[in-house]
A = this chain, B = another copy of it.
Amino acid sequence: MNAVVDDELWSAIGDPIRRTMIDLLLADGPGTATSLSRRLPVTRQAVSKHLAVLDRVGLIHAEPAGRERHYQVDEAQLARAVAQLSAVGSTWDARLRRIKRIAETIERTRTNDEGD
């Protein structure tokens, strides 16, 4: 019923560094591996690998500009990712609600029995 979710996409946004990178790119606009690494607790090379991952799943795309590579969020793809996030969230939410309802029903029944 639920999550035939893109596991690739999930694992891409599952990493805290990559999530922060997306945050930064959204907040400050396009950036390079070097510029991002200055605001993150890891080296440029590590950032570069993360950028490659995000690029591979299509969440960002690069634009060569002279000796630099400007990375930018692909809005449509990120929107799709957000949709998947909330899909899983609401699936779980629904199940939790159902469980709670059942539990309450049982509780009610038990109380009635005791009342007899």
Question: CB distance A82 to B93 under 8 Å?
Answer: yes
Q: Does A15 lie at the interface of the complex (its beta carbon under 8 Å from any beta carbon of B)?
A: yes
Min distance, Cβ A22 to any Cβ of chain B, angstroms = 7
Question: CB distance B7 to A23 under 8 Å?
Answer: no
- Chain B: which residue is nearest A81 at the CB level? B92
Chain B residues positioned under 8 Å from A16 (CB to CB): 5, 7, 10-11
The CA-CA distance from A5 to B2 in the complex, in Å, is: 25
Question: CB distance A23 to B11 under 8 Å?
Answer: no
Size bracket of the A interface:
20 to 34
State which residues 51-83 of A face B: CB under 8 Å: 75, 78-79, 81-82
Question: CB distance B85 to A26 under 8 Å?
Answer: no
Which 3 pairs from chain A and chain B are nearest by CB? A14-B14, A26-B95, A7-B16
Binding site for B on A (CB under 8 A): 2-3, 5, 7, 10-11, 13-16, 19-20, 22-23, 26-27, 75, 78-79, 81-82, 85-86, 88-89, 91-93, 95-96, 99-100
